[in-house]
Chain A
Amino acid sequence: MSNHAQPSVNPFAAQQHHLRERLRHFLAILHPVLHVDVVTALEAEGKLLSHAATSVDSPPAGLWPLLTLLVAQSISPDMNPICAGNVAVAVECFVCAIDLLDDVIDEDQTSTLQALGVARTLNVSTALLTLAQQAILSLSQQNVAPELILRLLTTLQESALMTTAGQHWDVLVEQRPAQSFTQEECIEIAAAKAGSIMRLACRLGALCAGADDVLCEQFSELGELLGIAHQLDNDSHDLYYLLQGDTSALGSAQAERNVKTDLVRGKKTLPVVLAANMPGILQSSSSPADEEKEGHLRALQQGVITTWGICLLYRERARDRLQEIEAQKPVAPLLHLLLGFE
């Protein structure tokens, strides 16, 4: 189930078609030996070139570039669609590159990693990061002011560094005991990873549409809050289904493997950290084994519910931010639909 009342006809079909056309334009510059592997990565589930049929509950292919495009078109409905499309394609390439690096670092056995192996995957990631910059630089051919191009590129670079720092932080903390973590640190990591990527998707859309600084910041914050909520939603539901023994709800065997890999690698997700810091539950070493196991389970369940609550809190904050934006001008209905707010 999802809270998105998505009709059976794909409402984003026209935008996806435009984005795919723009993406193929940039892919055409790649050498054939590289082109085929880059396309493989961009055809993965959820990516813009995915062949998977859209079901009522599944996200539309190319969710991230759609967000950038719809933010831009909502702010400036008459803006040059090639410009908006190219900036959105930069986001798709950037997110795909970061996802590939994340998969390699976490040793997730995704379909792309299985098909390409580590060496080719890393090379594809490099190509995609370069294509992201290329897509923004191409705006000069559309008579976009050099100052704006520089601002867009700077935003992309800042986000790349923030996301990389978040990923590095996430790797470093694998060696630390969960008890040494705080709720704040977990949320800071979520903000640096998922938060910064969604912040980028919204900010680039607002920037390229000529939004003023205040509106750019409002859309950036909206994106960051939604990104953090998304990460906490995943963390709480993944662990919840695992505790329930309902791994089919994770969506795929690959998703189940990834969740287990996260636990084995010692990822400090918020529910795990909250459970580890619950007084008198996980630290108890004097209780018999069964009682201790039950205590662990109760603590994890409580950690899951608390994380879900904090996720809802971030979602509420995002809703407040959207209302501030809409107090000036309502956002386009398609953007509303994509954001998932009633």
Chain B
Amino acid sequence: MEEQQIQDFVHRVAQDETLRKELASHPEGVIMREGFSPRVARVVARLVPQLALDKPLGPSLGWW
């Protein structure tokens, strides 16, 4: 289930400093290794700034 994949990955990154650093330096490599579906991979790629670089949450999607 894609939702669970995202939840598990966010939790693992939050708990694992090594994974967080690797995600910050080589996001494509980490995402490829995890074997996500193309759709989940697109989502995780957009979460990298918040997961690995402590950036603010992305802007609201706006109208919808």
Would you call B39 and A320 a contact (CB within 8 A)? yes
Collect the chain B residues with CB atoms within 8 Å of residue A236's CB.
57
Tell me, rounded to whole Å, the shortest Cβ–Cβ distance linking A229 to chain B. 7
Bound-state CA distance A336–B4 (Å) is 30
**Nearest 7 pairs between A and B by C-beta?**
A2-B62, A59-B63, A1-B59, A309-B6, A312-B43, A306-B10, A230-B64
Bound-state CA distance A294–B41 (Å) is 30
**Residue B2 lies at the interface, judged by CB distance under 8 Å to chain A:** yes
Bound-state CA distance A63–B56 (Å) is 28
Collect the chain A residues with CB atoms within 8 Å of residue B47's CB.
305, 308-309, 312
Total contacting residues, chain B, CB less than 8 A:
26
Question: Which chain B residues in 7-46 approach chain A with CB under 8 Å?
Answer: 7, 10-11, 14, 39-40, 42-44, 46
Would you call B10 and A2 a contact (CB within 8 A)? no
| Supplied contacts A233-B61, A313-B40, 20 more A-B pairs, CB within 8 Å | A57-B62, A60-B63, A63-B63, A183-B7, A187-B3, A233-B60, A305-B47, A305-B50, A306-B11, A309-B10, A309-B43, A309-B46, A310-B7, A311-B61, A312-B42, A313-B2, A313-B3, A316-B43, A338-B63, A339-B64
Q: Choose among A57, A229, A308 the residue that contacts B50 (Cβ–Cβ < 8 A).
A: A308
**Residue A77 lies at the interface, judged by CB distance under 8 Å to chain B:** no
Would you call A305 and B64 a contact (CB within 8 A)? no
Residues A4 and B3 in contact in the complex (CB < 8 Å), given A302-B10, A305-B10, A316-B43: no
Q: Is the interface of A mostly helix, strand, loop or mixed?
A: helix
For the side of the interface on A, what is the size category? 35 or more
Residues of B that sit less than 8 Å from A by CB:
2-4, 6-7, 10-11, 14, 39-40, 42-44, 46-47, 50-51, 56-64
List 15 A-B residue pairs with CB atoms under 8 Å apart, sorted by A's residue number. Answer: A2-B59, A2-B60, A4-B63, A59-B63, A60-B63, A229-B64, A237-B57, A240-B57, A274-B7, A302-B14, A310-B6, A312-B42, A313-B43, A340-B61, A340-B62
Find the B residue at minimum CB distance from A234: B60
B42, B57, B61: which has the most chain A beta carbons within 10 Å? Answer: B61
Bound-state CA distance A322–B63 (Å) is 17
Residues A340 and B63 in contact in the complex (CB < 8 Å), given A302-B11, A306-B6: yes
Find the B residue at minimum CB distance from A223: B64
Find the A residue at minimum CB distance from B58: A308
Bound-state CA distance A233–B46 (Å) is 14
Question: Which chain A residues in 231-245 approach chain B with CB under 8 Å?
Answer: 233-234, 236-237, 240, 244
Bound-state CA distance A277–B44 (Å) is 21
Bound-state CA distance A57–B60 (Å) is 11
Bound-state CA distance A3–B64 (Å) is 11
Tell me, rounded to whole Å, the shortest Cβ–Cβ distance linking B39 to chain A. 5
